[in-house]
């Protein structure tokens, strides 16, 4: 069973260089905003924290459930509803 999450950390690092990947270049700031909005709309008691690098830059955009939850890699804005569904499921004990 997954640990009950209390938050989501989203990497919003932007390196402004094409030679090194960074999550903001993949749209992570919009993903963080959409997660925040979706959590609010669904009444889910998680907070969104924006961080500068989760150490998985080549797999971004990256986010992670906290504490100690799973990573989501190569995240797209369109993935947000499924991520929220998964969080809801975990909170229901699924
Ligand atoms: S830039 Fe996002 S994990 Fe490093």
- Provide the residue-wise pLDDT of the chain in tens; the chain has 94 residues: 457 899 999 999 998 877 889 999 999 999 999 999 999 999 999 999 999 999 999 999 999 999 999 999 999 999 999 999 999 999 998 6
Q: Quote the DSSP letter at residue 43.
A: T
The response to whether residue 57 sits with its C-beta less than 6 Å from ligand 1 reads yes
Residue 79 maps to which CATH number? 3.40.30.10
Q: Is residue 94 in a domain? A: no
How far apart are the C-alpha atoms of 33 and 41, rounded to whole Å?
12
81 within some domain: yes
Query: How many alpha carbons lie under 13 Å from residue 3 in its C-beta half-sphere?
Result: 12
Asked, for residue 2, whether it belongs to a domain, the answer is: no
Q: Please check whether residue 66 lies inside any domain of the structure.
A: yes
**1 inside domain:** no
Query: Domain range for residue 72?
Result: 7-89
CB of 10 closer than 6 A to ligand 1? Answer: no
53 lines ligand 1 (CB under 6 A): yes
> Looking at the 3D structure of the chain, how many domains does it have?
1
Q: Taking the model in full, what pTM does it have?
A: 0.93
d(CA 10, CA 48): 7
- Which residue among 11, 16, 19, 73 has the greatest number of ligand 1 atoms within 8 angstroms of its CB, and so is best to mutate? 11
Q: 57 in a domain, yes or no?
A: yes
Contact criterion met (CB below 8 Å) for 87 and 65 = yes
| Mutation probe of ligand 1 site: the residue of 10, 16, 18, 22 with most atoms within 8 A of C-beta | 22
CB 31 within 8 A of CB 80: yes
- Residue 39 lies inside a defined structural domain of this protein: yes
Q: Which atom of ligand 1 is nearest to the CA of 59?
A: 3
């Amino acid at each position: 069973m997954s640990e009950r999450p209390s938050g989501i950390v989203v990497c919003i690092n932007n390196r402004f260089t094409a030679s090194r990947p960074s999550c903001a270049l993949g749209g992570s700031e919009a993903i963080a905003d959409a997660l925040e909005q979706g959590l609010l709309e669904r009444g889910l008691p998680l907070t969104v924290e924006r961080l500068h690098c989760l150490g998985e830059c080549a797999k971004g955009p990256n986010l992670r459930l906290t504490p100690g939850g799973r990573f989501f890699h190569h995240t797209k804005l369109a993935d947000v509803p499924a991520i929220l569904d998964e969080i809801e499921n975990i909170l229901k004990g699924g």
